[in-house]
């Protein structure tokens, strides 16, 4: 049975160097996740099993190519992991005859020129996954524009607390349509809709999705132990390394949420999957 992971972390957004909407904790998140997967024996830290894309190497084309590698020749019992730490956003679905929803996105290094990666792109990449293959998707990002209300309210506090939020405003050509009708609903990434619960059961889902925050919240990074890290990724890795692989996904999620609360951060991670997958042990 194969064990494979694609880990993406982007601090440096185009242009290379200062000037883009840069972050500081995403590459550290990748290192934390890679070390955690290796130490726990989930995915060995070897080039044939683990691929890492950071900063300028994490282009749209490279990420999509990495996703194709991740699911290639997948079979029942395989352990597959896609981890993304970076900016998120959303765009109007202008490919339809009517603008009836927003597509959530992740932002590759070159998103400004090459475009964002939509939930549709991720769904397409995972569509051929065979039954019984275990795919966990981790997204430490913000997606919904409703989170900007929190951004405004915490602007002053963020300067003092050194919090940085992982959200990019939609590009102007899409943002115009979104701003013209604020009632357009947001379609949750990788599924038709998302609830307000900490754990969401989705019948027929062929993967498990771990989100760093709910739709109406912001996913943040901050200096923890003197090093910038994503709050969600830091807490999740801390929980996994403490509990090992004997806990279920539901238990790992609950402990991660509790740990984030103990750090006095407001974001609430969300776990989505089938009832069976949520009850199973992590990465099975």
User: Annotated active-site positions, please?
Assistant: 87, 142
Q: What is the rounded distance in angstroms from the CA atom of residue 225 to the CA atom of residue 37?
A: 21
- Tokens 């990724």 label which residue? 233
Q: What is the rounded distance in angstroms from the CA atom of residue 131 to the CA atom of residue 83?
A: 21
Q: Is 126 exposed, middle or buried (0-12, 13-18, 19+ CB in 10 A)?
A: buried
C-alpha separations of 203 from 53, 191, 265, 278 in Å: 32, 11, 31, 11
Q: What is the rounded distance in angstroms from the CA atom of residue 77 to the CA atom of residue 3?
A: 9
Which tokens belong to 170?
A: 């939609």
> H-helix or E-strand containing 229?
strand 227-230
Assign residue 112 a region: left if phi > 0, alpha if psi is -120 to 50, beta otherwise? alpha
- Tokens 């694609």 label which residue? 6
End-to-end CA distance of the chain: 11
* CA-derived radius of gyration, the chain: 18
């Amino acid at each position: 049975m194969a064990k494979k992971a694609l880990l993406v972390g982007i601090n440096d957004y185009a242009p290379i160097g200062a000037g883009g909407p840069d972050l500081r904790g995403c590459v550290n998140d990748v290192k934390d996740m890679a070390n955690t997967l290796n130490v726990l024996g989930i995915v060995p830290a070897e080039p044939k099993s683990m691929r890492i894309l950071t900063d300028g190497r994490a282009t749209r084309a490279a990420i999509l190519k990495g996703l194709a590698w991740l699911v290639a020749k997948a079979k029942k019992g395989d352990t597959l992991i896609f981890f993304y730490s970076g900016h998120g956003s959303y765009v109007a679905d202008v490919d339809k005859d009517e603008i009836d929803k927003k597509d959530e996105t992740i932002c590759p290094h070159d998103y400004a020129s090459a475009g964002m990666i939509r939930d549709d792109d991720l769904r397409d990449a995972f569509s051929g996954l065979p039954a019984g293959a275990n795919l966990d998707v981790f997204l430490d990002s913000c997606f919904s524009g409703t989170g900007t209300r929190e951004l405004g309210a915490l602007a002053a506090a963020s300067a003092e607390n050194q919090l940085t939020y992982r959200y990019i405003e939609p590009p102007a050509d899409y943002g115009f349509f979104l701003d013209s009708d604020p009632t357009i609903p947001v379609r949750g990434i990788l599924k038709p809709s998302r609830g307000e619960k900490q754990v969401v059961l989705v019948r027929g889902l062929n993967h498990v999705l771990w989100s760093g925050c709910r739709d109406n919240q912001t996913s943040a990074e901050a200096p923890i132990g003197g090093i910038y890290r994503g709050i969600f990724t830091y807490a999740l890795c801390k929980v996994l390394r403490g509990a090992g692989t004997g806990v279920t996904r539901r238990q790992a999620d609950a402990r991660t949420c509790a740990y984030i609360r103990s750090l006095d951060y407001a974001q609430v991670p969300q776990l989505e999957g089938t009832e069976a997958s949520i009850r199973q042990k992590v990465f099975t």
